[in-house]
Chain A
Amino acid sequence: MDTPALEALDIHKSFLGHEVLRGVSVRARDGEVIAILGSSGSGKSTFLRCVNFLEVPESGTVRVGGEEVRVRRKRNGYAFDQKQINRLRARVGFVFQSFNLWPHRSVLDNIVEAPVHVRRIPRPEAVARAESLLEKVGMADRRDLYPNQLSGGQQQRAAIARALAMDPDVILFDEPTSALDPELVGEVLGVIRRLAEEGRTMLIVTHEMGFAREVSDRTVFLHQGRVEEEGESSEVFAGPASDRMRRFLSGHLT
């Protein structure tokens, strides 16, 4: 039996009494690409953020490569081990909708930062690795520029290289192309597609239905904080079992 690369089980989260996630579970096998779909407000971002504890779920279990983080409810807050969460985060890459590159550091320094200061890799080694990653995302000639000097597509590709630099077991993408001008979407999707072909394990929240269908192995459809439908992408896209997913898809496939 192969252990999944990532398991996020029975995740619950509410904001100010409003239940946003009501027990969402997602398992990703090694090398699997999972598309997470759902209408606005269904909890997709919150779920991804709970997986690496940018939001602390009220309950649930996250397991990455055998290590398990469990949240227990305490009388005044939640009990978790911050060191363990930092370890988990170092193994789970996160790519944000708004890139979140650091404007005061060059592209190269953005990428090298965490390997040097978290993984404690010697800088020359980290730089060499960063350069090959920049090559891979087509940004080799931009290493010394600052984020503000780049287009949105270039910033997102640099942000993907920054996530890859930690050599993560899993990468989470939260609408990686939603902040981009339409003509720049393709270059970023191209990079993600190549990562899928390499066998990277990825969870991708996206509104690009054609891309989701083509690149993902499985699809999870969220509705009001629950998994409404889940299955092989080829099957789910060809014939959704639930009415909601069917309506959602017909609304998006223009």
Chain B
Amino acid sequence: MVPDLHGFGPVLLEGTLMTVRLAVASCAVGIVLGLLGAAAKLSGSPVLRALGGAYSTVLRGIPELLVVLMIYFGASTVLMAAARPFGYAGYIELSPFVAGVTALGLTFGAYATEVFRGALQAIPPGQSEAARALGMGRVLAFRRVTLPQVWRLALPGLGNLFMVLLKDTALISVIGLEELMRMTAFAVGRTKEPFTFYLAAALIYLVLTALTTLALSAMERRAARGHGRR
């Protein structure tokens, strides 16, 4: 039994693709922010430690919807204020996609900061010492020795965050991004068949989550090379 989508199939597909693009871009931004946050929290400088701590505490403490709205409307206010001195008085707006990636990336990064911090601390100092003792510079030792091991330890935690992120992309519909949730609402409005389309959307989210799980276990297996066998 295939439900009749009244020709809205392609619309839902388009929304799905946007959802995936949004999730992947936010995740990439979040991973970079998370690594920076963790590095700051573990650094020798008290100022950096405080900044890293403030970042992860504040962004984990605010409802994500609020972050989205603050970024979207806050950024236009700031941009317009900045443009006024140059004689531009029109309305400036951040694209919903950029605002969405910023908001979701910031939140993902705040949680990822804690994931990466735990992973970094779990790696014995002898690992990078062995690299430094062979003449590797700080950056090279981090990239070749520490990071791959951090990645292995952080992957399960990051995977969890990604699952949450995938569903939180629905929040970006409130600022008009045409992702899966908004497209579904659009179809519901036109067809007056809420159950059909909400069910379809739920199934699509489920498929995305299942694919993520598969991809993650493949990545975890790859990252675990050399570990656990004896």
- A interface residues with partner B (beta carbon < 8 Å): 52, 54, 82, 86-87, 89-94, 96, 98, 100-106, 113-114, 117-118, 146-149, 159, 162-163, 166
Residues of A within 8 A of B126 (CB): 96, 98, 100
A149 to B229, CA, bound (A): 6
Q: List 19 A-B contacts (CB under 8 A).
A: A54-B132, A82-B137, A89-B133, A94-B134, A96-B129, A98-B126, A100-B130, A101-B130, A102-B131, A104-B148, A113-B134, A114-B134, A117-B144, A146-B226, A146-B229, A148-B226, A148-B227, A162-B134, A166-B134
Min CB–CB distance B144 → chain A (angstroms) = 6
A17 to B100, CA, bound (A): 52
Quick check: B133 and A54 within 8 Å, CB to CB?
yes
Quick check: A89 and B227 within 8 Å, CB to CB?
no
The interface size of chain B toward A, counting residues with CB under 8 Å, comes to: 25
A104 to B228, CA, bound (A): 11
Quick check: B135 and A86 within 8 Å, CB to CB?
yes
Min CB–CB distance B226 → chain A (angstroms) = 3
- B 111-131 to A, binary, CB cutoff 8 A, 1 in contact else 0: 000000000000010110111
Q: Which of B131, B148, B149 has the most CB of A within 10 A?
A: B131
Quick check: A117 and B226 within 8 Å, CB to CB?
no
> Which 8 residue pairs spanning A and B have beta carbons closest together?
A90-B135, A146-B226, A100-B130, A114-B134, A100-B126, A94-B133, A89-B135, A118-B135
Given contacts A102-B131, A104-B226, 19 further A-B contacts (CB under 8 A): A54-B129, A89-B132, A89-B133, A90-B134, A90-B135, A91-B135, A92-B133, A94-B130, A94-B133, A98-B124, A100-B127, A103-B227, A104-B223, A113-B131, A114-B134, A117-B140, A118-B135, A146-B226, A162-B130
